């Protein structure tokens, strides 16, 4: 059984992890960093084969200051998560959308839904007829005129 003693020094704001059989002490400002170093150390010494999170052969001893520091860190993290905007909200605000991200584009005058009742619906082919009129992006005036500049007919 591997025993790990964890101590938090409130004055220095440091976590200390001690493994007594190898007389090894890790001192870091972050408990997460301490566990990463401990994990790497125990693997390199052959004391564990997998990850410390999966090992049942490790017993942790923590003092009350460490316990309180863990609780305080978790509470602060939850507060930040609850007040921080989501990534979607932050990106939508960059594009001028409202905070909820929902904005409908205003309908242009004369814009209509092209459904089954419209002139462009072709029921036999389960789709819409191609509009070959003079309006639109690939019309005679815009697309074919540009295409001729590149040697097309």
* Residue 101, domain member (yes or no): no
* Structure confidence at residue 58 (pLDDT): 93
pTM, full prediction = 0.51
CATH number assigned to the domain comprising residue 31 = 3.30.160
State how far Cα 113 lies from the chain centre: 37
CB atoms within 10 A of CB 47: 16
**Number of domains composing the chain:** 1
* Structure confidence at residue 152 (pLDDT): 58
Residue 108 carries which DSSP code? P
* Residue 41, domain member (yes or no): yes
* Structure confidence at residue 21 (pLDDT): 93
* Residue 89, domain member (yes or no): no
* Residue 106, domain member (yes or no): no
* Structure confidence at residue 134 (pLDDT): 47
10-residue mean pLDDT profile of the chain (153 residues): values are 92 93 93 92 92 90 90 88 76 69 52 52 52 49 54 59
Range of the domain at 47: 2-66
Give yes or no for a contact between 17 and 5, defined as CB atoms under 8 angstroms apart: yes
Helix (H) or strand (E) holding 117: none
CA distances from 90 to 51, 82, 105 (A): 36, 14, 20
* Structure confidence at residue 15 (pLDDT): 93
* Residue 32, domain member (yes or no): yes
* Structure confidence at residue 81 (pLDDT): 84
């Amino acid at each position: 059984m591997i025993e790990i003693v964890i101590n938090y020094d409130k004055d220095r704001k440091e976590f200390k992890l001690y493994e007594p059989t190898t007389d090894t002490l890790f001192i870091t400002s972050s408990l997460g960093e301490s566990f990463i170093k401990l994990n790497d150390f125990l693997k390199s010494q052959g004391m564990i084969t997998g990850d410390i999170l999966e090992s049942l052969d490790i017993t942790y001893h923590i003092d009350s200051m460490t316990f309180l520091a863990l609780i305080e860190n978790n509470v602060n993290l939850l507060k930040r998560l609850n007040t921080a905007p989501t990534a979607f909200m932050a990106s939508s605000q960059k594009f001028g959308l409202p905070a909820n991200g929902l904005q409908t584009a205003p309908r242009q005058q004369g814009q209509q839904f092209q459904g089954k009742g419209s002139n462009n619906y072709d029921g036999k082919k389960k789709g819409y007829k191609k509009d070959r009129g003079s309006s639109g992006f690939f019309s005679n005036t815009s697309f074919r005129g540009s295409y001729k500049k590149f040697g097309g007919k």
